Amino acid sequence: MRRFTPFIFFLLISCPGFAQWQVAISAQPGKISIIDKDFSSMSFSAIVPGVGLSGKYEGAHSTHELSLSWLGGSLKTGTMPRYSLNQHYFNADYTWLYKLGSHDDAWTGGAGGALQVLYDKRTYADVINNNASFDFAASLGLAGSLSYSFNKNNGLPGWSLSDQLGIPVLSWLVQPPYGDESSAASLTGTDNRKKMAGFSSFFRLKNTMSLDRQLSSHGALSLAYTWDYYKIDDLREVRQASHRLSLIYRLTF
């Protein structure tokens, strides 16, 4: 718990004018499609289950949000369905946004920065010996949001539409070397390849659109669609796209 104390203290002092805390839990089924050129030039894809958890602090002038999510399962190729891989895709995103517009405006938004961490672990079930791979990226980037509220009732927005976008600017990449089974199985392998990367080596685009219904002063229900795409052109060539449809319940304190 002690290691989180500075982070909690930072949230409290950087958000003068208390507004509210939110927590949210979600079911996030989605479709993943991936190509890892070291293993195959064919795309593996499937519809798989996913879950998410987030916490948000909204102050007078800014918002801070930490979200965690997982998406995973068995993926197959379209042309040779007997070949499969097992995948676990983890995300941790911290977003800080300076608020644009007032609480009573129909149009509101935010602009700021984000810290995005992804860990994508794969095991190719039909490959003998060297069958494990992963991608790890920790990125500093830009973030923005836009929201429109309508059908307001007693000062609370009955419905709202929102969109949030995050783009990495500078990233720390870690991947295992192909052919080294011990390194491929562990993020801490000594032979893993590491690199500080910009847009030319690592590109990611993560965008979430949501339709929100305010149920009460403390509860809201959201239906969200997230498109998350990344590509690595250095180290090992990887392309992945995921599409998620999330049902989210938010509780405000």
At 11, the pLDDT band (50, 70, 90 cuts) reads very low
Average of pLDDT values for 127-138?
81
Single-letter code of the amino acid located at 61: H
183, pLDDT greater than 60: no
Q: Is the pLDDT of residue 15 over 80?
A: no
- Read off the pLDDT of each residue in 129-141 and give the average, rounded to a whole number: 87
Flag whether pLDDT at 129 surpasses 80.
no
Residue 2 domain-assigned?
no
* Torsion of Cα atoms, 195 then 204 then 43 then 46, to 10°: 120
Q: Give the confidence band of 180 by pLDDT, cuts at 50, 70, 90.
A: low
Q: Indicate whether 19 belongs to any domain.
A: no
Sign of CA dihedral 114, 173, 78, 45: negative
Task: Please give the residue that has the higher pLDDT: either 60 or 27.
Answer: 27
Whether the predicted pLDDT of 241 surpasses 90 = yes
pLDDT over 60 at 185, yes or no: no
Torsion of CA 71, 77, 81, 85, to 10 degrees: -40
Express each pLDDT in 194-203 by its tens digit.
Answer: 999 998 899 9
Residues 92-124 have pLDDT tens digits of 999 999 999 877 788 899 999 999 999 999 988
d(CA 29, CA 51): 7
Q: How confident is the model at residue 12, as a pLDDT? A: 45
Domain count, the chain: 1
Q: Quick check: is 13 in a domain?
A: no
Asked whether residue 64 carries a pLDDT value surpassing 70, the answer given is yes
Question: Going by C-beta distance under 8 Å and a sequence separation of 6 or more, which residues neighbour residue 123?
Answer: 85, 86, 87, 131, 132, 133
Rounded Cα distance, 82 and 133, in Å: 19
Residues linked to residue 133 through DSSP beta bridges, in sequence order: 122
Q: What angle do CA 139, 145, 151 make, to 5 degrees?
A: 155
**pLDDT above 80 (res 152):** no
| pLDDT value of position 4 | 44
pLDDT, position 146: 96
Residue 235 φ/ψ region, left for φ over 0, alpha for ψ in the -120 to 50 degree band, beta for the rest: left
Q: Is 65 among the domain residues?
A: yes
Query: What is the reported pLDDT for 127?
Result: 63
Give domain status of residue 1, yes or no: no
Residue 179 is predicted with a pLDDT of: 55
Q: Answer for the pair 177, 192: CB distance below 8 angstroms, yes or no.
A: yes
Domain range spanning residue 226? 32-252
Residue 24 within any structural domain of the chain: no
In a domain, 21, yes or no: no
Which pLDDT score is estimated for 149? 87
CATH classification at residue 170: 2.40.128.100
pLDDT in tens, 28-53: 999 999 999 888 788 999 999 999 99
